[in-house]
Every structure is written in structure tokens, then in C-alpha cells.
Structure 1
Amino acid sequence: MSTGERWTVKSLNAADGSGDVIVELQEDFLAEAGLHLGDELTVEMIDGAVVLKPVRPEETAS
């Protein structure tokens, strides 16, 4: 996926009183980004855009 590529998705109210939202990511987005169901993402607001980045375990030398 190229840097700066934008996708538009809808957010859904979690409806559990938490104030959280659910964002359903499209399968083609997941594939292009190399993501899988259950992957952990960080969320940042950068210049008015919500930026998602995968949390990857750091490789350690053995």
C-alpha cells in the first residue's frame, strides 16, 4: 500500500455505552495492507486524517 493512500469507511456505534466505535475494514484493504483479522492497530489523527498503523512485534536477536 502506498503512503498517503486514502480509504473511506463508515464507523458504527458499539452501542455498549463505552463511546467506542467499530470500523469495518474492507477485505481488499486488509489484503493490500498485509493485515489479518485480529491484528492490533494504533490509531492517530494526522492533519485531519485518521491513520491506522499495525502493531508489529519487534524482531529480537536470538
Structure 2
Amino acid sequence: MLMIIRLWLVVLVLAVLSWLLLRFIDKPQALRKLVLFWVVAVFGSMGMMYVLSVWVAGL
């Protein structure tokens, strides 16, 4: 459970930093789009690594 909370914190920090950076370079985006992007990026890559490890373990 603690790992899931840490992942959500990482996602939120990355989203806020991305939002601030995009505001700084005058290309503002909606914060919810950035949160969605980082959720897909972090949890998608975590899922792909899990599937790959299960597949390799089965060989």
C-alpha cells in the first residue's frame, strides 16, 4: 500500500513540475491533462515491466 501512495506522490509532483515548466515557457496546459499523462506513463511502464518479468520468468 505504501508503494502505491509513493507512486501517486511521484505522479503528482511530476505533473505539477511539468505544469510549472509549461507555464514558464508560455505553453500552458490543463493540470488534469498532465496528471493523466503521468498516470499513464508511470503506471503503464510499471505494468509493462511486470508483464515482461512474468513472461521472462515463464521461459
Q: What's the TM-score once normalised by structure 2's chain length?
A: 0.26
Q: What's the TM-score once normalised by structure 1's chain length?
A: 0.25
- Judging by fraction of residues, say which structure has more helix: 2
- Judging by fraction of residues, say which structure has more strand: 1
Higher RCO structure (Cα 8 Å, ≥6 apart):
2
Highest CA radius of gyration, 1 or 2? 2
